[in-house]
């Protein structure tokens, strides 16, 4: 046979594009339009129903960026259409095929009831098959003029309503009533499925050529000038090849409907409220026609928005859950970043998410669902188990630049040894269209063939929302069992996970430690004020809960602020979404985030101050009476610090009197151009360039530095793509050491504080740093003020340490991880930028040094030869200046602190990190004894609060922080009637006494019932 394959394929492509697709709608009549342009922010439908509308015609421009226009659409079904499937088909000016990144709309009926969203791949609203013609049509379209922002990472001012301008960006193309020719539509889907399958089959497979010839026969049966009349005959020519069943060994795909909706990204939070409403309206409408549909939807926050703003859609969701068409998944408040949220915050993501799904939808979710976050902390498996979660899903590690993950289905082992059954869908997308290419890739790519036979495919338009479409579900029906293709079953993630675990669980491999994403490493740094707002809000809420719980136990008249704390926590959790906290959203998002964090911190401060005031009048067991001022310590570790005119030692989680004397001091002297600061522990030398030339640990009698410390280094920062997200290795090839100095001056010379102020200018930026050493202090603090005006630069602070370290140790949630300081393997080399929380430590046998921070997450650690051996350089990544999607990222004023803490062990690093992030509080009133205490230094109290059920029980969450076993006793500052160990949701697991044993990094939640 002559090879005319390419000719047949070209014939097919033109026939479909030019004749079959346009013939899906056989007849059209236009709808009449009128419009009301909303003068400001979006309004509810009730207000739109009362507005004054003006005539509008298709072809007219509309929609300045981020504006909303309401369109009335009116018409009448022609008499001759009786009994035929009539649809409203709308194109408000779509600019491409990508839903969620351009004009979007939600259709309502004349009474204001939401019906369905529209987007470029889902433009229709089915009106039914009227028994008789002439029926009136009255619709209302809420159209959002959202601009497309991300164009090759070019800077744009479209990312903020304040800078986007007023020029219309869309032209309304069409609003019609149309008759759907179902035979033509179905023919198009038959062709699509077979053509996609054919192109994935090998050339030497007979099946490929059988499909080709069947498609050729179909074309012969199809009259391109009478597609509607000949579509049945054309479909008949495909019946045989569509009915051939899949082989017994075909890969099994569990397909679940999905619509990953970023809670903010290239749009503000307020627009996500509407994106969720549009998508959820689509899905609930689709379920009426496709009873097999299962839609998997995460992020309790988005459900809560829809419940508040769209009660009709909310009730449809509740029905879909009951009917089995809708599967709440994910167990979290939002799909958060999984590196930077603190331990308690990550626990609260699970607590608030699972509680919402249980209380509102009567669903106990069993999986963590994070397809798009930028790497995953090794604390997650234990947190998942403690929340009653069995399974974990992500997709993002398929984006790795250097190394391919060796498994798709495996047990993920956390730092404490807990394992969770985990799946990476080998389809390599969470927005599948059930395209033949995607399914074939899933089967070829699946790493666990031979032992496992199935994988998950989330299908539907996503990122900007949209969800599954009727075309996708039609394709799924054809792909249930089709020769040459994986078998496709539409179902729930839980059904997939249960089947996969039963089949493969006993033999599945184990991956131990963090799931590090070899991409998007700059998200540890970008938008520094967003990260700082998160860090400070987390710690402020931790402190507020502690003093509120203490006040509630000590003073029966004090009202614990349950509602306010719940609301504030949820606000912070929302802003941990994986495009907000990482700094990868448009300017509008981060501008609002800064404003929100300021409000959160102000309100939390009011709550904390009121609790401390209540404590001042309540007293209680162990408290002192009398007037005066006290120093409150929200850290679980006792600490000695300068307060006012003296030194004070404050117990962990308690308070002490404000001191007026000190038995230790610090002194400063100037020798030529050099300043020397010294206390009983450290001697610090600052040279004429403002650099640390020596930090001597007096008790260990050793030099800490191997070169100039606190050396600021400026690198060019031009990643290959993904400006806000990425820092690529080549940035290291060039840098400038910022050694020029404007001034170096002694600004405090003891006896309680010594400090040298260093001022530098570079480019158009200015930085002022105070290098501080306090009496009795065990660390050198660097308090930094920056006016940052750089463009596409990254600022690092380097500490070359005379420590021979094989690995670095970085704090993560509820523990720490070790990472090699070498680059022996491609896996090691890929970790050239790493995430740490409050501290990172490097050590050799017998000695270590920690670098602390109060709001920085990005670091790098390298091995550094010097004259006397091999040292280790720790650098903090302080600021960046990418141009996309926010062209003015990080420009402006910043204030933050970091510190060098020599000589301590891990417990010391934990305590000093907490001290830097939880400043002492001075308030009027008597000394207050701690509500709880632990007698083991390796056991760290993470949070103290009242139980969420408002019973008055005290909940204490603690963990083993050294990486070893610990036996400890918890002491309560109140009579305890009963103690229970609970899960994260404070549900009892078993009774306990207050003597506890913890394995390495174990998290324990105790519930104490006061007598």
Nearest to 871 by CA among 863, 879, 861, 859: 863
**What confidence score (pLDDT) does residue 627 get?**
62
User: Secondary structure of the chain: what % helix, strand, coil (to 5)?
Assistant: 30, 35, 40
Give bridge partners of residue 255 from the DSSP assignment: 457, 490
Instruction: Kindly tell me if the per-residue pLDDT of 515 is higher than 90.
Output: yes
Instruction: Kindly tell me if the per-residue pLDDT of 3 is higher than 90.
Output: no
Q: Using CA atoms, how far apart are residues 238 and 482, in angstroms rounded to an integer?
A: 13
Assess contact for 839 and 909: CB atoms under 8 A: yes
Give bridge partners of residue 852 from the DSSP assignment: 839, 899
Residue range 544-554: mean pLDDT, rounded:
98
- What order of strands is seen across the sheet that includes strand 629-632? 655-657, 629-632, 921-924
Report cis status (omega within 30 of 0) of the bond before 457. Answer: no
Assess contact for 319 and 353: CB atoms under 8 A: no
Q: Using CA atoms, how far apart are residues 839 and 901, in angstroms rounded to an integer?
A: 10
**What confidence score (pLDDT) does residue 484 get?**
98
DSSP single-letter state for residue 22: G
The SS3 call for residue 633 is coil
How many residues make up the chain in this entry? 1011
Q: Using CA atoms, how far apart are residues 278 and 116, in angstroms rounded to an integer?
A: 6
Reported confidence tier of residue 252, pLDDT bands at 50, 70, 90: very high
Which of 94-98, 358-362, 832-836 is predicted least confidently? 94-98
Pull the structure tokens for residue 983: 């899960």
Digit-coded pLDDT (tens) for 717-766 = 999 999 999 999 999 999 999 999 999 999 999 999 999 999 999 999 99
Instruction: Kindly tell me if the per-residue pLDDT of 1000 is higher than 80.
Output: yes
In sequence order, what E strands does 48-135 have? 54-56, 61-62, 67-76, 86-91, 104-109, 114-118, 124-128
Long-range contacts of 681-685 (CB under 8 A, 24+ apart): 681/776, 681/777, 681/778, 681/903, 682/773, 682/777, 682/778, 682/780, 682/902, 684/771, 684/773, 684/780
Instruction: Kindly tell me if the per-residue pLDDT of 927 is higher than 90.
Output: yes
Q: Is pLDDT larger for residue 85 or for residue 3?
A: 85
DSSP-assigned letters across all residues of 366-378: -EEE-TT-S-B-T
Give bridge partners of residue 102 from the DSSP assignment: none
Give bridge partners of residue 685 from the DSSP assignment: 676, 694
Pull the structure tokens for residue 737: 């050491």
Instruction: Kindly tell me if the per-residue pLDDT of 624 is higher than 70.
Output: no
- Residues marked active site are found at 372
Q: Using CA atoms, how far apart are residues 942 and 654, in angstroms rounded to an integer?
A: 15
**What confidence score (pLDDT) does residue 621 get?**
55
Residue range 14-37: mean pLDDT, rounded:
97
Instruction: Kindly tell me if the per-residue pLDDT of 619 is higher than 70.
Output: no
**What confidence score (pLDDT) does residue 867 get?**
86
**What confidence score (pLDDT) does residue 1005 get?**
98
Residue range 131-146: mean pLDDT, rounded:
92
Pull the structure tokens for residue 3: 């090879």
* Gyration radius of the chain's alpha carbons: 31
Assess contact for 577 and 349: CB atoms under 8 A: no
Residue range 146-169: mean pLDDT, rounded:
94
Q: Using CA atoms, how far apart are residues 457 and 293, in angstroms rounded to an integer?
A: 14
Residue range 687-699: mean pLDDT, rounded:
98
**What confidence score (pLDDT) does residue 925 get?**
85
Assess contact for 711 and 909: CB atoms under 8 A: no
**What confidence score (pLDDT) does residue 616 get?**
84
Instruction: Kindly tell me if the per-residue pLDDT of 623 is higher than 70.
Output: no
**What confidence score (pLDDT) does residue 660 get?**
80
DSSP single-letter state for residue 17: I
- CA torsion, points 175, 179, 180, 182, in degrees to nearest 10? 180
Digit-coded pLDDT (tens) for 868-918 = 899 999 999 999 999 999 999 999 999 999 999 999 999 999 999 999 999
Assess contact for 350 and 984: CB atoms under 8 A: yes
Q: Are strands 702-703 and 692-697 parallel, antiparallel or unpaired?
A: antiparallel
Neighbours of 375 (CB within 10 A): 25
**What confidence score (pLDDT) does residue 793 get?**
98
What is this structure's pTM?
0.97
Q: Using CA atoms, how far apart are residues 885 and 726, in angstroms rounded to an integer?
A: 12
Reported confidence tier of residue 620, pLDDT bands at 50, 70, 90: low
Q: Using CA atoms, how far apart are residues 502 and 506, in angstroms rounded to an integer?
A: 8
- Mean pLDDT across the chain: 96
Task: List, in sequence order, the alpha helices (H) in 416-522.
Answer: 436-445, 470-478, 493-504
């Amino acid at each position: 046979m002559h090879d005319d394959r390419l000719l047949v394929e070209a014939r097919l492509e033109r026939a479909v594009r030019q004749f079959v697709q346009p013939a899906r709608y056989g007849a059209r009549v236009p709808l009449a339009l009128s419009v009301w342009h909303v003068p400001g922010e979006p309004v509810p439908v009730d207000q739109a129903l009362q507005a004054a509308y003006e005539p509008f015609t298709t072809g007219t421009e509309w929609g300045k960026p981020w504006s909303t226009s309401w369109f009335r659409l009116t018409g009448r079904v022609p008499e001759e259409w009786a009994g035929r499937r009539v649809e409203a088909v709308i194109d408000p000016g779509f600019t491409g095929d990508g839903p969620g990144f351009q004009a979007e709309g939600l259709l309502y009926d004349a009474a204001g009831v939401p019906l369905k969203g529209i987007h470029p791949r889902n433009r229709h609203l089915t009106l039914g098959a009227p028994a008789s013609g002439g029926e009136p049509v009255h619709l209302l379209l809420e159209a959002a003029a959202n601009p497309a922002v991300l164009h090759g990472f070019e800077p744009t001012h479209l990312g903020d309503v304040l800078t986007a301008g007023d020029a219309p960006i869309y032209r309304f193309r069409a609003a019609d009533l149309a008759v759907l020719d179902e035979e033509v539509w179905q023919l198009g889907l038959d062709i699509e499925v077979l053509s996609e399958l054919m192109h994935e089959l090998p050339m030497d497979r007979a099946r490929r050529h059988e499909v080709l010839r069947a498609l050729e026969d179909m074309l012969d049966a199809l009259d391109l000038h009478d597609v509607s009349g000949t579509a049945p005959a054309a479909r008949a020519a495909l019946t045989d090849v569509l009915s051939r069943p899949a082989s017994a060994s075909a890969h099994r795909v569990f397909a679940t409907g999905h619509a990953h909706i970023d809670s903010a990204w290239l749009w503000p939070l307020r627009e996500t409220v509407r994106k969720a409403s549009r998508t959820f309206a689509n899905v609930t409408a689709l379920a009426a026609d496709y009873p097999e549909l299962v839609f998997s939807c995460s992020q309790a926050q988005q459900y809560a928005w829809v419940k508040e703003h769209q009660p009709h859609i909310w009730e449809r969701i509740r029905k879909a859950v009951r009917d089995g068409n809708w599967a709440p998944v994910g167990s979290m408040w939002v799909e958060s970043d999984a590196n930077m949220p603190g331990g308690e915050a990550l626990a609260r993501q699970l607590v608030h998410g699972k509680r919402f799904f249980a209380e509102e939808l009567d669903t106990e979710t069993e999986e963590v669902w994070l397809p798009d976050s930028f790497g995953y902390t090794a604390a997650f498996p234990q947190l998942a188990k403690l929340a009653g979660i069995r399974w974990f899903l992500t997709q993002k590690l398929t984006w790795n630049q250097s190394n391919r993950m060796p498994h798709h289905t495996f047990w993920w082992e956390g730092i404490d040894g807990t394992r969770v059954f985990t799946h990476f869908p080998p389809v390599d997308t969470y927005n599948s269209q059930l395209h033949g290419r995607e399914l074939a890739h899933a089967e070829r790519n699946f790493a666990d063939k031979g032992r496992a036979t199935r994988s998950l495919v989330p299908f539907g338009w996503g990122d900007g929302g949209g969800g599954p479409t009727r075309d996708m579900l039609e394709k799924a029906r054809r792909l249930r069992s089709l020769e040459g293709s994986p078998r496709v079953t539409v179902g729930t993630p839980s059904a997939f996970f249960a089947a996969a675990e039963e089949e493969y669980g006993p033999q599945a491999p184990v991956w131990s430690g963090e799931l590090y994403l070899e991409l998007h490493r700059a998200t540890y740094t970008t938008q520094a004020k967003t990260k700082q707002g998160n860090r400070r809000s987390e710690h402020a809420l931790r402190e507020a809960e502690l003093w509120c719980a203490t006040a509630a136990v000590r003073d029966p008249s004090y009202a614990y602020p349950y509602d306010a704390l719940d609301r504030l926590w949820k606000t912070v959790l929302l802003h941990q979404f994986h495009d907000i906290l990482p700094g990868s959203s448009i300017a509008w998002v981060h501008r609002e985030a800064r404003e929100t964090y300021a409000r959160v911190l102000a309100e939390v401060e009011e709550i904390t101050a009121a609790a401390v005031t209540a404590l001042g009048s309540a007293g209680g067991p162990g408290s002192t009476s009398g007037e005066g001022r006290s120093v409150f310590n929200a850290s679980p570790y006792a600490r000695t610090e300068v307060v006012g005119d003296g030194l004070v030692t404050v117990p962990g989680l308690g308070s002490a009197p404000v001191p007026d004397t000190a038995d230790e001091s610090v002194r400063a002297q100037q020798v030529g151009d050099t300043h020397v600061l010294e206390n009983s522990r450290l001697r610090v030398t600052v040279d004429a360039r403002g650099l640390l030339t020596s930090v001597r640990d007096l008790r260990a009698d050793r030099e800490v530095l191997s070169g100039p410390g606190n050396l600021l280094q400026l690198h060019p920062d031009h990643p290959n793509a993904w400006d806000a997200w990425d820092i690529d290795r080549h940035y290291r090839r060039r840098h400038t050491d910022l050694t020029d100095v404007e001034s170096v001056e002694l600004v405090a010379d003891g006896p309680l504080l010594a400090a040298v102020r260093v001022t530098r200018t570079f480019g158009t930026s200015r930085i002022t740093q105070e290098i501080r050493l306090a009496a009795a202090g065990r660390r050198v603090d660097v308090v930094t003020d920056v006016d940052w005006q750089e463009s596409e630069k990254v600022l690092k602070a380097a500490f070359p340490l005379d420590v021979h370290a094989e690995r670095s140790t970085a704090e993560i949630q509820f523990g720490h991880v070790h990472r090699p300081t070498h680059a022996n393997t491609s896996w090691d080399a890929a970790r050239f930028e790493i995430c740490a929380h409050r501290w990172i430590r490097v050590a050799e046998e017998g000695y270590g040094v920690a670098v602390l921070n109060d709001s920085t997450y990005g670091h790098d650690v390298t091995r550094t030869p010097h004259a006397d051996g091999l040292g280790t350089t720790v650098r903090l990544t302080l600021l960046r200046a990418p141009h996309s999607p926010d062209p003015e990222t990080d420009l402006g004023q910043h204030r933050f602190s970091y510190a060098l803490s020599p000589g301590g062990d891990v417990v010391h690093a934990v305590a000093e990190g907490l001290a830097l992030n939880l400043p002492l509080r001075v308030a009027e009133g008597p000394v207050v004894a701690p509500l709880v205490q632990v007698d083991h230094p390796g056991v760290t109290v993470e949070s103290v609060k009242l139980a969420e059920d408002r019973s008055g029980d005290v909940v204490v969450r603690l963990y083993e922080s050294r990486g070893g076993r610990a036996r400890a006793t918890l002491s309560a500052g109140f009579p305890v009637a009963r103690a229970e160990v609970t899960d994260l949701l404070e549900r009892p697991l078993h009774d306990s006494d207050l003597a506890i044993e913890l394995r390495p990094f174990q998290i324990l939640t105790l519930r104490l019932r006061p007598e």
